[in-house]
Structure 1
Amino acid sequence: MGARLRAVLSLLLWPAAALIGRLRYAQKFLLVGLVLLVPLVVTANSYIAVQREQIDATVREQQGLRYLRTLLVLAGDMVQARRSAVSAGFDLSVNLDAALARVDEVDRQVSGSWQVHAEWGKTREAIVTTMEMATQAKSVQFTKYQEASDSILALIVTLGDRSGLIHDPDLDSNYIARMLQDWLPSLGDIAGRIADLLELNSQGQGDEQLKVFMELGKYFGVVSNSGQHLARAADAVAASGGDDGVVAAIRSQSRELHTVTEAMGGRLALAVKHQSLQQFPSHSADAVRVATNNYASVAVSSLDRLLQIRIERSTDRIERVQGWLGMGALLAVYLFAGFYISVATPVRRIVEALRAVAGGDLSRRVEISTKDEISFIAEVLNETIMTTEAATGRLALLASSDPLTSLPNRAAVLERLDAALLRVQQGSSLLAVLFIDLDRFKLVNDSFGHEAGDTVLRAVAERLITGMRRTDMVARLAGDEFVVISEEISEIGSAVSVAERIVASISEPIRIAVNDTHRDVAIGASIGIAFVATGNPVSADDLLRDADVAMYQAKQKGRGRVEIFDESLSAALEHRVRTEQDLRNAIQCDELVVFYQPIVEADTRSIVGFEALVRWQHPTRGLLAPDAFIPVAEESGLIVPLGAAVLLQACSQLSQWQRERPGCERLRMSVNVSALQLDHPSFIPTVAAVIETTDIDPASLWLEITETSLVADVERATAAFEALHDLGVGLALDDFGTGYSSLAYLQKFPMQALKIDRSFVDRLGRDPEAAVIVEMIIGVARTLRLLVIAEGVENEEQADELYGLGCTLYQGYHFGRPAPAEKQWQESGTSIVAV
């Protein structure tokens, strides 16, 4: 995969590399300068274009504001004209013709940009029609004026949307635009209508008093709502941190409008309370209308100021970017010219020196007067030239030997095998390759440190060299793997005898230094042998692989032995690899099935728990027992995800039983845990996550650990057990009596139960020593206050004898075979007991 990726990258980059390679230094610097400057210029121009677009948008808003100003004035004049029309002897001398003319002028200049000319025409026609109805009844005139005012307010909203005012990106500008478009015109118009309604009613031309009160209440709701919107908008403008003058003006107008609006509200409440319109003087509404008009005038000026400030800022940014861009371009050209002059000459000298060294002239030196990194390169190059010959020798040595043991390394082994294979094809003798892997070396490394491990490796190398012929090659491949290559072997038995002597030699104790003291450690070796004879062509890699496969077989058969490669071993290895691949898929595809075997209480013969036992429902091989795949899982590391899957499935089943089956509330579930799982950093978090996911009581989960897990790494086991104990999980020591644990370990680790190995139970009634051992185990458990579970109880005689010896819990075929969850309760034939 890596080679393919490099090939693709080389193919993609070849045109650029070819182009750069054809250019001289001056051309390369010019190209680099263009590559750097062009993006800079493009970026700067893009930024300038954005600023200009913002200026255009702001100018468009200014034009809209200009149009809006005339409409606001016209709206105010319409309110005054309506008041004059409905009032008796009240003439405000409003010149609507002049206001219309001002709007017409602005419309001719800018309305084409927003297509509001048609809307203005309709509004203008409505206003002119209203002006021609002076002879009509006052109530009719009031209605027509209302319609014309509504048309102006709708046009203001349309204009604010199409000119972009209402979509202004700045918070303060946006809120002021909303004031001018939505709230101030509406507030001024409604305040005028309130005053006009009062005037019509006083003349006896309005509706009945109840309807007038209802209408006034509706209008005052609009006034109150608009006043709240305006107050919040003024606060938002102040909070935006914009222009101080604008903030002060808006706050001042907001306070004034709030004062008169509150006063009008109080008088209106008084009028409603006394059911008298005389309690509500019309000048209160007039005061609100006047304050609204003043607010609108200030808001227009403030918004125009903010828009102009934005235009000036954008213009200033454009001028600054253009200035910095010009200065940057000039500076870049100047620096690139100086860079070329300071680099080109030293580089040329360095290249000339390298060419001389490549030609074999090691007397050449580079002289550079600069004080930069190139001078450092020249110094390093001069030092490199002086040490090239010595470094070449050292590199040749390191390329073919192992620095720790001084033995040949893998590269030397492959080279020797290639030559030896050619000689075998030309002669009649055998070529033997002995693949040696140390036993229990990891335990030495983990227990006494890597320095002790290095001592062992050097000692093994010396013993190998001592026992070999001068024509044999002894090499170290990696880690604790060694190889012996023996040529001109007359028969297979000779190589086997050599391998057996190696096993005996390496098995002798090796003295190491530990904490200023010396101690002897015993390791061993497993050896696989592969042979090549004339007429049997094979590659060096294949020969090493075959020897490795034979060594693996020696490990599988108990270690400390010698195995010879044949095709059956290759088939076995292939079967193991296929099993590992299938198991990996099985974990991902949920092919693992959990069976459950009951654990019963000795006195009542009732179920107190189950042990979860994994099976594999293989798609082609059928249901597989653990022996068919658990060893592969442990060797490949798949035992960690496999164990997590089994734990989750078992705890989920326990949770279901505890919820759905009466009497199962305190049922326990035992799950086996391997040493690899216990040692893995994800194990404790996995257990905690499963408990939380399945929502079980941690005390109802028991984890069964073998004795070998305790002694493999006592410190790590202690830390893991303490973490599990903190979670509240129970711990049981499985297969007790067959391992290496001691009473000290049992006292140190927080165990709750011991499981007597089935080998002792099976011998009860036939071997008196078995009864003694079982009685001793039960006595130890009783002393340490531990529960005792006897495994493999196959008949009633065994159960009775165990009961007589004091055993408290049984597990075996006599009480129930492992079965799927759905069949478990039918097959067990026992009841449930809460313990």
Structure 2
Amino acid sequence: MTVPAPRVRRRPSVPGRVLPLLLVLALIAPLGLLFAQASGTTADDHDLATRERLGVRYLRALGPVTDALVEAQSTAVAGAPVSRAALNAAIERAAEVDAAVGDELRSHERWAGLRAKVEALPDRGLGDPEAAYRAYGEATDLLLALYRKVRESSGLIRDPRADSFFLQDGIGGDLPTATVLAGRLADLVRLAPARPAAERVKTGAELSELRVAALGPAMDLVADLRSAVDSSESTDLGANVLTPLDTYQRSLEAFTAFSAPGPGRAAPSTDQLTNAGLTAQNAAKELRTVILDQLDALLEERLDTLDRDRLLARIAAVVAVALLAGLAVVQLAAWRRGRHRSTEAREPAEAGRPATVRPDQPAATRPADRQPVTVGGGDAERWRPFDAAR
């Protein structure tokens, strides 16, 4: 008869062993791609917000320069001696900021041109009001160009959030333009009576054009700030901005009223316009400080959020990689155990497989494990009764 051999466990096929590992790798690849894209986007947003804060720092330094330059222009056009103390101090503070962040904002060239123009003002024959008006006009034009450069190079002009975009547009575009042009309007009103009679028509047209140019940015500033408050999720923005905005708007209305001919007068009132201009300028200073503080706070909050998101993304990526690595280790260990068990089962089956025994096979030719066994030191063999019976 034939003794069946032990059943050997079948080894898993190669695809069955490799497929789990391939699935693990297939999961790692898209997770890595998603993490790389998210990390790149977060890094870009972080860099933009960081540069924007540099721009806010620069705009904060340009504010006192704007005020001092407009005040010096009004003094020079009025024929009074110009005190350089406030203007020089503002220039020095702005120069320090330009030295610190000018490389990042690429503002050195424009700042150098503005500073040279401002420092050359005392040597331009300011005894002539018309010459002073033109000279300071050239300097303030360079100042407004520097404002635009800072907004562009810092990325403020491309800010993706509605509230911070309207704030930067107001503080970097509308407010300095309105301040400079309002000062020019007041100075031109002072210069107009002294001009020749042949130029009165030209002067009237110039006054009308400058009045529209000055009041347009001021109204745009009001609209920008209200849009920023309406679109912002911050509860502090409205509470902090609306009060100084109302003060500025009232002073602007008074300045507008005195900048045009009124009942009983053919020309604007110089003294009333000057006083209204000073009130509007003081309100603009207060409003500028508030806007810059709020804009910087929004950007700082955004940076904190981006840092937190980047940290959470890294933690999630590490956890995902650890889980997938653990799964790969488990699958590899299971494959090795299966291979080891298969080897152990196959070796005994191949080395100790029982031979086939036929009933008519002589005892001498049978396998050793089927030879007769003697009992009791030479007693009768155990197979003899079977042979006798046969």
Partner of 2:242: 251
Q: Which amino acid aligns with 2:220?
A: H
Report Cα offsets for 1:9-42 as digits up to 9, x if no partner: xxxxxxxxxxx962553x4323322221232133
Aligned counterparts of 2:163 and 2:264: Cα–Cα separation in 1: 40
Whether 1:302 and 2:294 are equivalent positions in the alignment is yes
1:256–1:291 contact (8 Å) kept in structure 2: yes
Partner of 1:316: 308
CA separation of 1:281 and 1:119: change in aligned 2, threshold 3 A: closer
Larger radius of gyration: 1
1:189–1:289 contact (8 Å) kept in structure 2: no
1:179–1:233 contact (8 Å) kept in structure 2: yes
- From 29, 43, 52, the equivalent of 2:43 is 52
Report Cα offsets for 1:496-554 as digits up to 9, x if no partner: xxxxxxxxxxxxxxxxxxxxxxxxxxxxxxxxxxxxxxxxxxxxxxxxxxxxxxxxxxx
Whether 1:113 and 2:113 are equivalent positions in the alignment is no
CA separation of 1:247 and 1:336: change in aligned 2, threshold 3 A: farther
Report Cα offsets for 1:712-742 as digits up to 9, x if no partner: xxxxxxxxxxxxxxxxxxxxxxxxxxxxxxx
2:211 aligned counterpart, secondary structure: helix
1:263–1:284 contact (8 Å) kept in structure 2: yes
Partner of 2:215: 224
Whether 1:241 and 2:258 are equivalent positions in the alignment is no
Offset, 1:181: 2.7
Which structure is richer in relative contact order (CA contacts within 8 A, separation 6 or more)? Answer: 2
Offset, 1:140: 1.1
Aligned counterparts of 2:229 and 2:337: Cα–Cα separation in 1: 64
CA separation of 1:21 and 1:314: change in aligned 2, threshold 3 A: farther
Offset, 1:130: 1.2
Aligned counterparts of 2:109 and 2:208: Cα–Cα separation in 1: 35
% identical aligned pairs: 22
Task: Give the TM-score taking structure 2 as reference length.
Answer: 0.73
Aligned counterparts of 1:315 and 1:307: Cα–Cα separation in 2: 12
- From 164, 175, 179, the equivalent of 2:166 is 175
CA separation of 1:37 and 1:191: change in aligned 2, threshold 3 A: same
Partner of 1:266: 257
Whether 1:136 and 2:127 are equivalent positions in the alignment is yes
1:191–1:288 contact (8 Å) kept in structure 2: no
Aligned counterparts of 2:82 and 2:123: Cα–Cα separation in 1: 17
- From 265, 268, 277, the equivalent of 1:277 is 268
Aligned counterparts of 2:42 and 2:323: Cα–Cα separation in 1: 25
Whether 1:185 and 2:171 are equivalent positions in the alignment is no
1:86–1:196 contact (8 Å) kept in structure 2: yes
Offset, 1:56: 1.1
Q: Which amino acid aligns with 2:308?
A: D
1:33–1:336 contact (8 Å) kept in structure 2: yes
Q: Please give the residue correspondences for 1:777-788 in structure 2 after superposition, counting only pairs within 5 Å.
A: none
Please identify which structure carries the higher helix content: 2
1:80–1:94 contact (8 Å) kept in structure 2: no
2:290 aligned counterpart, secondary structure: helix
Aligned residues: 325
CA separation of 1:21 and 1:125: change in aligned 2, threshold 3 A: farther
CA separation of 1:219 and 1:58: change in aligned 2, threshold 3 A: same
Structure 1 unaligned blocks of 5 or more: 1-19, 347-835
Q: Which amino acid aligns with 2:280?
A: V
CA separation of 1:99 and 1:206: change in aligned 2, threshold 3 A: farther
Aligned counterparts of 1:269 and 1:104: Cα–Cα separation in 2: 38
Partner of 1:99: 90
Aligned counterparts of 1:128 and 1:99: Cα–Cα separation in 2: 12
1:242 aligned counterpart, secondary structure: coil
Partner of 1:469: none
1:74–1:96 contact (8 Å) kept in structure 2: yes
Aligned counterparts of 1:193 and 1:272: Cα–Cα separation in 2: 24
2:125–2:131 contact (8 Å) kept in structure 1: no
Whether 1:62 and 2:53 are equivalent positions in the alignment is yes
Please identify which structure carries the higher strand content: 1
Aligned counterparts of 1:144 and 1:158: Cα–Cα separation in 2: 22
Structure 2 unaligned blocks of 5 or more: 1-11, 339-390
Offset, 1:134: 5.5
Report Cα offsets for 1:759-803 as digits up to 9, x if no partner: xxxxxxxxxxxxxxxxxxxxxxxxxxxxxxxxxxxxxxxxxxxxx
Q: Please give the residue correspondences for 1:125-524 in structure 2 after superposition, counting only pairs within 5 Å.
A: 125-133=116-124, 135-201=126-192, 204=194, 211-269=202-260, 271=262, 274-278=265-269, 280-334=272-326
